[in-house]
Amino acid sequence: MRFVTVSGPPSSGKTAVIIKTLEHLQKAGQEVGVVKFDCLFTDDDELYRKNGIKVRKGLAGALCPDHYFVSNVEECVQWGKMENLNVLVSESAGLCNRCSPHIREILAVCVIDNLSGINTPKKIGPMLKAADIVIITKGDIVSQAEREVFAARVHMVNSKARILHVNGITGQGSFELSTLWSEIEKTETVEGKRLRFSMPAALCSYCLGETRIGSDFQMGNVRKMDLEMPTGIKTDGGPTDLGSST
Amino acid sequence: MSRELETLNVGELLARWPFAEQHLSDNGHAEIADRPEASLKAILDCEQLAALDGFVGMMEDFLGASEEKVTEITITGGRAKDGSDEPVRELTARVGDVICIVGPTGSGKSRLLADIEWVARGDTPTGRHVTINGQVPDDKWRFSSEFKLVAQLSQNMNFVMDLTVEEFLALHAESRQASEPEEKIQRIWNWANGLAGEPFTLDTPVTSLSGGQSRALMIADTAVLSASPVVLIDEIENAGIDRQQALDILIKEEKIVLMATHDPILALMGDRRVIINNGAMQKVIEPSAAERANLTELRALDAKLMGLRHRLRMGERLDEI
């Protein structure tokens, strides 16, 4: 089974790109499936099903979505094998711009759109920087110049990636992407493989459900901003160590 | 190492490859520009030097420093939707050519353009092959944004950046690392104003340009600053833009122009017309003498309609036309 991780900011067109691309593989007689990761809600699974794509969804709920992803990815691969898929795609949104679900030796795709602003390639960090293929969407509604500027910015952040333009509505460019998905190595398991980039660090009192504000309630991995305030103004004080708190 | 970076100091590096500063600052050498006399060998280890060399090489490719000029592209026919051989076996488009593409919706116009953009090697549904300057081109045309073969201009495109015309053009020039950006910005602005009829200033926000002005700016900008040798135009709206002059500008800047249009004036302005149906190029025809002669009449009709449009705008009645 071939396994591809697809990530990208919310509403960048991941689902549309995946459906259009898998359509070409389906036409070639391949069995395809998607595991959709999201936070609170998604009905994209219906969309996939409608297009004859086998699908499972995972909602992270209160958990960090990417920690949730990495804790479940091996099981997803095993599900794909059980379903006899030729190609399995994982779809996840890089919600805090700090995450990246990409795994070493597994084809990593990042989807980003022309409307998201020219500084976005710099902002979204690891999920773009560590990708093998960068798909730029929504090119049909911006000028040629903006497309060129945007692609140049992507190139500055990740000069090794292959950059493709795909239109999620008409499917332009998706055939070309599908050829890249069919030439990759097969994967039996991701157990023992490593993430390309570490996940965002956490584990403070808020991770565990704390809702009150103030230093007295902050424990664990907490960091304070330096607001350069003159001395004498009351600040909240530093974080409390896990050990010293009562 | 191909560029002998280890013999250079920071000042020499940045003078030659200014974009290297970004790479170094991304890799933990943020204040490097403050120490122009420091030798690279002293700052970077072997691995970092190799990474820098790789980055400079990729950026040089990106900026077209090692680019070979595209003078012609040739499409070799594949098969139609029903599997039969494509009737047109070969079509070559050279720099300065204007080729119109006509055919009903779903006939395969988009696939033809996609085949060109992807530089097909018999590996697309049509089985077509595309060569550049008579050669089978390498992968760079497929995967790197800088070597995009086709620039596209279409009716539903908009400017979305919140910048003035001048800032916008400067940003585009910068991302292309264009030489003499000032001259290019002036030239684009002058040309765009010539095309649009309604003049605009360099400090106009691009988002407040009219449809005609936007189109004019996009065409002039693509002609001058885009690296893509092929320009695909998906109709040019009739109002607010001088279409003959728009084509002349693209030809002057040595573009190969492909135009998907069913506008009779535009279609007759082309050097050739490709007729698409059933997923295949059926015929390539040149405008006949009679068609050329009719172009004059069509232009007169067009001018008349434009005149009526103008009168409406001025609040007149059209009792007499």
Picking from A107, A108, A176, the residue whose alpha carbon sits closest to that of residue B116 is A176
| Residue B269 lies inside a defined structural domain of this protein | yes
| Residue B298 lies inside a defined structural domain of this protein | no
Whether residues B56 and B181 fall in one domain: no
CATH of the domain at B93: 3.40.50.300
Of B110, B160, B222, the CB nearest to A144: B222
Q: With contacts defined as CB-CB under 8 Å, which chain A residues touch B168?
A: 145
Per DSSP bridges, beta strands B272-277 and B90-94 are unpaired
Whether residues B55 and B76 fall in one domain: no
| Residue B295 lies inside a defined structural domain of this protein | no
Q: Chain B window 44-73: which residues touch A at a Cβ cutoff of 8 Å?
A: 55, 58-59, 62
Phi, psi of B192, deg, nearest 5 = -60, -40
As a whole number, mean pLDDT of residues B157-171 equals 92
Cα→Cα distances A222→A99, A197, B71, B238, Å: 19, 21, 60, 61
| Residue B250 lies inside a defined structural domain of this protein | yes
Look at residue B65 in the predicted model and tell me its pLDDT. Answer: 52
Contact A193, A77 (CB under 8 A): no
Residue-wise pLDDT for B267-318, tens only, equals 898 999 999 999 999 999 999 999 999 999 998 998 898 889 889 989 999 9
A191 compared with A198, residue with greater pLDDT: A191
Q: With contacts defined as CB-CB under 8 Å, which chain A residues touch B159?
A: 142-143, 146
Whole-angstrom distance, CA of residue B75 vs CA of residue B271: 17
Whether residues B192 and B226 fall in one domain: yes
Whole-angstrom distance, CA of residue B220 vs CA of residue B215: 9
Whether residues B52 and B180 fall in one domain: no
Q: Exposed e or buried b for every residue in B272-297, given b needs 16+ CB within 10 A?
A: ebbbbbebbbbeeeebeeeeeeeeee
B64 compared with B88, residue with greater pLDDT: B88
Q: Could you tell me how many CB contacts below 8 A there are between chain A and chain B?
A: 95
Whether residues B52 and B105 fall in one domain: no
Its domain, for residue B241, covers 72-287
Distance from CA of A62 to the nearest CA of B (A): 33
Closest B-chain CA to A136: B145
Burial of A3 (0-12, 13-18, 19+ CB in 10 A): buried
Q: Exposed e or buried b for every residue in A52-84, given b needs 16+ CB within 10 A?
A: ebbbbbbebeeebbbebbbebbeebbebbeeee
Total of domains in chain B: 2
| Residue B297 lies inside a defined structural domain of this protein | no
B261: how many CB neighbours lie within 10 A of its CB? Answer: 20
B2 pLDDT more than 70: no
| Residue B198 lies inside a defined structural domain of this protein | yes
Residue whose token pair is 């050739």: B272
Whether residues B177 and B58 fall in one domain: no
| Residue B51 lies inside a defined structural domain of this protein | yes
- What is the average pLDDT value for chain B, to the nearest integer? 88
Closest B-chain CA to A132: B143
Q: Chain B window 123-142: which residues touch A at a Cβ cutoff of 8 Å?
A: 123-125, 142
Of B55, B175, B214, the CB nearest to A148: B175
Residue-wise pLDDT for B99-120, tens only, equals 999 999 889 988 898 899 889 9
Q: With contacts defined as CB-CB under 8 Å, which chain A residues touch B59?
A: 159
Closest B-chain CA to A155: B145
Picking from B210, B218, B266, B260, the residue whose alpha carbon sits closest to that of residue B238 is B266
Partner-chain contact B125 A155, CB within 8 Å: no
Using 50, 70 and 90 to split pLDDT, how confident is the model at A240? very low
User: Does residue B27 sit at the A interface (CB-CB below 8 Å)?
Assistant: no
pTM: 0.79
Per DSSP bridges, beta strands B72-76 and B129-132 are antiparallel
| Residues in contact with A170: Cβ distance below 8 Å, sequence separation at least 6, in sequence order | A140, B110
Whether residues B135 and B219 fall in one domain: yes
Residue whose token pair is 């002998």: B4
Q: Exposed e or buried b for every residue in B128-144, given b needs 16+ CB within 10 A?
A: bbbbbeeeebeeebbbb
| Residues in contact with A27: Cβ distance below 8 Å, sequence separation at least 6, in sequence order | none
B4: how many CB neighbours lie within 10 A of its CB? Answer: 9
Q: With contacts defined as CB-CB under 8 Å, which chain B residues touch A119?
A: none
| Residue B303 lies inside a defined structural domain of this protein | no
The domains located in chain A, with CATH, are 2-182 (3.40.50.300), 210-246 (no CATH)
Helix axes B243-252, B181-196, angle to 10 degrees: 160
Look at residue B62 in the predicted model and tell me its pLDDT. Answer: 64
Look at residue A74 in the predicted model and tell me its pLDDT. Answer: 94
Whole-angstrom distance, CA of residue B131 vs CA of residue B76: 8
> Alpha-carbon torsion B235, B172, A155, B68, what sign?
positive
Whether residues B274 and B140 fall in one domain: yes
Of A145, A151, A170, the CB nearest to B145: A151
Amino acid identity for residue B200 in this structure: F
Using 50, 70 and 90 to split pLDDT, how confident is the model at B68? confident
Q: State both tokens at B60.
A: 């040089």
ipTM value, please give it: 0.76
In this structure, chain A runs to a length of 246
Whether residues B44 and B136 fall in one domain: no
